[in-house]
Structure 1
Amino acid sequence: MTRLYRLFFALPCLAVLMGCASPLYYLQAIQGQADIFAKSRPVEDWLADPATPPEAKRHLVLAQQLREFASRELLLPDNQSYRAYADLERPYVLWNVFAVPELMLKAKQWCFVVAGCVPYRGYFVKNNADKFAATLKQEGYDVYVGGVQAYSTLGWFDDPLLNTFIHRGEAELAGLLFHELAHQKLYVKGDSSFNESFATAVEIEGVKRWFQRNGAIEAAEAYIEKIQRRDEFAALVETYRTRLSEIYQSNSGAAEKRAAKAQTFADLRRDYGSLKTKWGGYAAFDSWFAQDLNNAHLAAIGVYNQYVTAFQALFREHAGDFTAFYRAVEVLARLPQADRHAALEILSTSKS
């Protein structure tokens, strides 16, 4: 009866979450979330089921250990999220659609009652995401459809573990759980760069502490190296985002801007090749560069990395104390957005 109750409860709540979205979009969101609820079972049930593969059981046990660590050591919400598991029988839980004008870098926004305005729109069925992206492309937008392995309902529902991410490596699984629980800890309506950067900073510090606690020095070092490479990738993209911004704001004609845009993306690919050589052939970002890159791809990268260094500086200012850190973040969250971002910019240059 509990699961059935949750399914009925999801309908009015999701209506509130989706706000003024179109009826069809609202309907697919309800159906997608209801499908996840219907397929969710407590982790204990999966572990007791002889049909559950041993490898899946191993990952589920690890996920529960990470879940307890997140609440006990990182002071993240201690609730029922990630204590159940669902096999959706697909590689992604949903697909986000990003859209940016052809000769601009400001991403199109979609606004919802609880989440506020965000630079993407999510679909639980890829075909629906592709159709929406095609419509935006016809309107002249650069578009990008990206698969999402996990997302947070911001504490409105108990988010389950999913087959879309449970088989990740230990560091990646830890990072994902810490990241999504951080969204439940604190979320500022309509400020994606703040929310994602905060969650990413918590993710990074959380994974470091997980490995430090377990004495896995080599694993911790490998994770730190991976994060450094992710930062270098983000910095490379940001360099070319700045270059494109200058091109788009110039007095050149549209044809000249398009030619300069194409050359800029070609240069970005070339410099990634150099970066990859420096990394000894590390190829984690090859799939991103294998796409037909456009402005929308840049928007998807920027959301997650813009203020990570600022939050890391704030964490250092509070001597690694999560209680004090969260209090400081809550102070920032109460500021008007312009003041909040100005404060984060200052923190980004902090050497403390």
Structure 2
Amino acid sequence: MIRPLPSHGLLDRVLRVLFPGALLLLLSGCASVSYYGQLANGQLQLLRAREPVSKVLADPSRDPELRAHLAQSQKARTFASQQLHLPDNQSYRLYADIGRPFVVWNVFATPEFSLSPQNHCFPVAGCVAYRGYYTQSAARGQAALLREEGMDVSIGGVEAYSTLGWFNDPIISSMMGWGDERLATLIFHELAHQRVYVKDDTEFNESFATFVEREGTRQWRAWRGLAPDNGNPAQQRDQFIQLVLDTRSRLEQLYATPLSTEQMRQRKAQEFERLRSRYRTLRDSQWAGDKRYDAWINAPMNNARLLPFGLYDQWVPAFAALFKQERGDWPAFYAAVEKLGALPAPERKAALKGLAGPGNGAG
């Protein structure tokens, strides 16, 4: 249950007083003062930048394209609460211009021969499979240190994130580079995190939010009288994700074998080349040469680059099955998800595997 919060203006004034003290309480032996300091400062700057969307819409001096984009976002925001039964609060009814392409940069890391992420634990969010930085330079610095330790590392820019209902999250300027529908999907995804969140289980949380995003978008299109998005982009996305997930499965099997370090490195490189080859075959034979994923596939590859796919997609089939089991009833679905989330981790994973069925989900 999300507790009521003060208005964003009052909250800013409260945070100026409470953030330093709260920061000291959050510190632990596994995280530095400087890291928590940049988290606190970055979040505070974001909160200070907020203004009501209604204020932007009412100001004729503001960019017309921005106003039109925000006007459409508010229709999706209303739909999210009224039709998808997502939280009805001030989140995404505020706007913040941050002047950069991403709000944070996440650093993912794994051992050289493992797909298990290096987890980081926080008092509120629990343990997550990445560390976030409000500047790209700080993320790169951390990544360099991890590489020196022999870790596989990847940096990913993030357009939006949820504070899980603790603050009224804004629509951020970093979210505005996409079309109206993509912005709607981001709102659905981030509000889903406010609706259900399980500490210490990134895969569960992100797969759940991804399912809500996709099903919510399908219903959002139907509500507006649009045809389902079953065209090439959606189909290609699903096929590409499956290629990556298949590679993850093969690598997990590889890393469980008793090979020497050099043999393991050679086989690992072969698996990544196999992924590239399968992608090019798919692209040229079924996608008419569409190169939308070429930049990703041709970049240097390592375990950490595969992590987001496992985190965001591996249990989507399980949540889709659960939604069908609950006959498309959103409140009943959320109640069932909460029951799953309350299970001990091994039982939760077993239940998700059962829902996903043979051939789906992580091994």
Q: TM-score, normalised by structure 1?
A: 0.94
Matched residues, percent identical? 46
Match of 1:331 in 2: 339
| Post-superposition offset of 1:5 | 3.0
The whole-number CA distance in structure 2 between the counterparts of 1:307 and 1:279 is 26
Specify the alignment match of 1:258 in structure 2.
265
- Equivalent pair of 1:59/1:167 in contact (CA under 8 Å): no
Q: Distance in 1 between matches of 2:27 and 2:328?
A: 37
CA contact under 8 A between 2:23 and 2:37: conserved in structure 1?
no
Cα offset, 1:122, TM superposition:
0.3
Question: In the alignment, what sits opposite 2:243?
Answer: 236
2:161 and 2:248 mapped to 1: Cα distance?
Answer: 26
Contact between 1:152 and 1:180, CA under 8 Å: does it hold in 2? yes
**Gapped regions of structure 2 (runs ≥ 5):** 1-8
Q: In structure 2, what is the equivalent of residue 107 of structure 1?
A: 117
Change (3 A) 1:48 1:127: same
CA distance in 1, matches of 2:175, 2:244: 26
1:273 has 2:273 as partner:
no
Residue among 44, 51, 60 paired with 2:54: 44
Does residue 119 of the first structure (1) align with residue 126 of the second (2)? no
Residue 135 of structure 1 pairs with residue 142 of structure 2:
no
1:91 alignment counterpart: 101
Contact 1:95 1:126 (C-alpha < 8 Å) held by counterparts: yes
Q: Distance in 2 between matches of 1:5 and 1:118?
A: 27
Q: Matched residue of 2:167: which SS?
A: coil
The answer for the alignment partner of 2:307 in structure 1 is 299
User: 1:242 deviation in Å?
Assistant: 1.8
| Matched length | 348
Contact 1:313 1:350 in 2 (8 A): no
The equivalences for 1:1-352 within 5 A come to 2=10, 3-13=12-22, 21-217=31-227, 220-222=228-230, 225-277=232-284, 278-349=286-357
- The answer for unaligned runs of 5 or more in structure 1 is none
Distance in 1 separating the partners of 2:163 and 2:88: 15
In structure 2, distance between residues paired with 1:16 and 1:325: 36
Query: Tell me, what secondary structure is at the counterpart of 1:164?
Result: helix
| Conservation of the 8 A alpha-carbon contact between 1:97 and 1:144 | yes
Superposition TM-score, scaled by structure 2 size: 0.91
Between the aligned partners of 2:25 and 2:329, the Cα distance in structure 1 is 36
SS of residue paired to 2:110: strand
Please give the secondary structure, in 1, of the residue aligned with 2:175.
coil
Cα offset, 1:202, TM superposition:
0.6
Query: For 1:16 and 1:65, how far apart are their aligned partners in 2?
Result: 39
Moved more, 98-107 or 335-344: 98-107
The AA in structure 2 aligned to 1:81 is: S
Report how far residue 36 of structure 1 moved: 0.6
**Matching residue's letter, 1:228:** Q
